[in-house]
Amino acid sequence: MIAPEELGSLLSGEPAYRVDQFREWLYEHPVLAADDMTNLPTEVRERIADSLWPFRVEHEQVADGGRTVKWLFRCPDGAAVEAVLMGYPRRTTLCISSQAGCAMGCTFCATGQFGFDRHLTGGEIFAQVAYANAHLHRHPLPRSPERVTNVVFMGMGEPLANYPNLRESIRRMVEVAGISGRSITVSTVGVVPGIERLTEEPWPVTLAVSLHAVDDHLREQLVPLNRRYPIDDLIAAARRYREKKGRRVSLEWTLMDGLNDTAHQARALAAIAKEIDAHVNVIPMNPTPLAPQRRPPDERIKAFVDEVARHGATVTLRDTRGVEIDAACGQLRVRAESAPAG
């Protein structure tokens, strides 16, 4: 996606008003293809056609009665980027990727099992938002805002392991796409120095910490990075974020059958959440082809959530939007790449 500062060089030799026309097409009435920029001469449209997006759309899937759209984008070097758009009555949320693949190797995550390909650039991260806005302009989701109002970094990759590019993408979301910092959620598996850097940034972004366990022994089995940044250090960093920013942190808890779904763990999780004034989000495990972990039965999920609430923490059971199109972290990629060739 072209940054506003790059517009001039792309249109060099053209009159100044072309830059304004182009800017309007990009950021105010976004279009999916240069050909749709109807007041630009054909020659100019052809010149910019390949620079408009840094990737092509390999798959587009629609689910939930048109309220969920999932894209698999492909960069010229083969890197895969996935994003999921979800419409709600008062917000339109885009879940985006910060890396192609992920190096963290969490044992329950499809992206982690595929390993790391490369960091996405700030432009590639931001382009997911710009593309979704262009799509929404043409095809709004039923009864939802016609622009991306909320962004969550919960697609592929660990955003805090790609800090400068994460930072640049957030800057553009706020300054170019007009998304409020409060409506951007950075989800991390626990890169403590990254949380510390984010604490110093000017934007009031929401921090989500993917905790999944209350003791280091279990967490190490699920999240190898826990060996480097154990739970106490992670909670301390989340607490500082809360204090400095005045923003409530959320604790993500992917619920796995027989592993982290006991009443004892629910109580310990509630105690941590209360201690740092965090909100708990429980996400039932989405099975992946390679992961041994399973989703608990529904009554066990409900009992866990009730137990967290009974011990005084605020808790939400996250909806399973998009499950029918494998909208969970990294799963479309698995489907696409394991499909027979040809």
Active site residues: 82, 329
Nearer to ligand SAH, 165 or 286 (CB): 286
> What is the contact surface with ligand SAH in residues (CB under 6 A)?
108-109, 153-154, 158, 187-189, 210, 252, 254, 283, 285-286, 288, 328-329
Pairing of strands 314-317, 279-284: parallel
For residue 102, state whether it binds ligand SF4 (rule: CB under 6 A). yes
> 284 pairs with which residues across the strands?
255
Q: Return the SS3 of 148.
A: coil
CB contact at 8 A, 123 and 54: yes
Residue 303 DSSP one-character state: H
Site for ligand SF4 in 148-187 (CB under 6 A): 157-158
Q: Residues 138, 73, 29, CA angle at the centre, nearest 5°?
A: 25
Closer of 85 and 161 to ligand SF4 (Cβ):
161
Q: Which of 172, 87, 156 is nearest to 118 (CA)?
A: 156
Number of residues located near ligand SF4, criterion CB under 6 A: 11
Residue nearest to ligand SF4 according to CB distances in the complex: 112
Instruction: Find the shortest distance in angstroms from Cβ 156 to ligand SF4.
Output: 6
Kindly state the tokens that stand for 264.
Answer: 């004892």
* Residue 103: closest CA among 116, 120, 121, 119: 116
Instruction: Look at strands 68-74 and 184-188 and give their pairing.
Output: unpaired
Which positions from 48 to 87 touch ligand SF4 by CB under 6 A, shown as an x/- string?
----------------------------------------
The interface partner of residue 252, options being ligand SF4, ligand SAH, none and the CB cut-off 5 to 8 Å by kind, is ligand SAH
**Distance, CA of 20 to CA of 27 (rounded, Å):** 10
Q: Which does 283 bind (CB under 5 to 8 A by kind): ligand SAH, ligand SF4, none?
A: ligand SAH
CB of 187 to ligand SAH, least distance (A): 4
Binding site for ligand SF4 (CB under 6 A): 102, 104-106, 109, 111-112, 157-158, 189, 329
